[in-house]
Chains A and B, each alone.
Chain A
């Protein structure tokens, strides 16, 4: 195993771990945030950073094979469709009259 292959292997591990972390973080935001628009923000973390890093890690492990081409195709598919769906959803929600949750300026401040 050459030095470059070892480097690619470890980089793939790091990318996979980071991607899994961002997937869980994004879905935690999707489950816990208070408002629809803030939840969209949480879900976009999963769609971009999480999916991108997991697929990049798998690509680094696969090397230059047909598997890498398929992974790149999946990544390209997700890269183009997820933001489109998020944009359409946000616009549809706003058109249907779902107001974002805003902090009012008259509310008493928690800090003096």
Chain B
């Protein structure tokens, strides 16, 4: 069954992206890995809907895609403020 094979391949890709999110030395690596995990989750939901013969799962995939848009906006906000939430700066903000 090709759907099961595609779902297994997507799960393998998810595991690799998760490894980068855990290992990533900088915060940018983690954000990029989270973005990739979001994309892969949308694809996995779509494929799983076909695998079980219930394409209703596509609605969940659309919802997850829109949540990914919100993640994108959060990344853009990070960029425009130039602040990526380092612990030291948070403590500074709390004092002032």
A-side interface residues toward B, CB under 8 Å? 13, 16-17, 19-21, 23-24, 26-28, 30-31, 36, 39-40, 43, 46-47, 50-51, 54-55, 57-58, 61-62, 67, 70-71, 73-74, 77-78, 81-82, 84-86, 88-89, 91-93, 95-96, 98
Contact = CB atoms under 8 A, between A and B. Distances in A.
A101 to B, nearest CB: 12
Chain A interface, >50% SS class: helix
Interface residues of B, number: 45
A38 to B, nearest CB: 11
B50 to A, nearest CB: 6
Contact of B29 (A21, A39, A54, A84): A39
A67 B9 contact: no
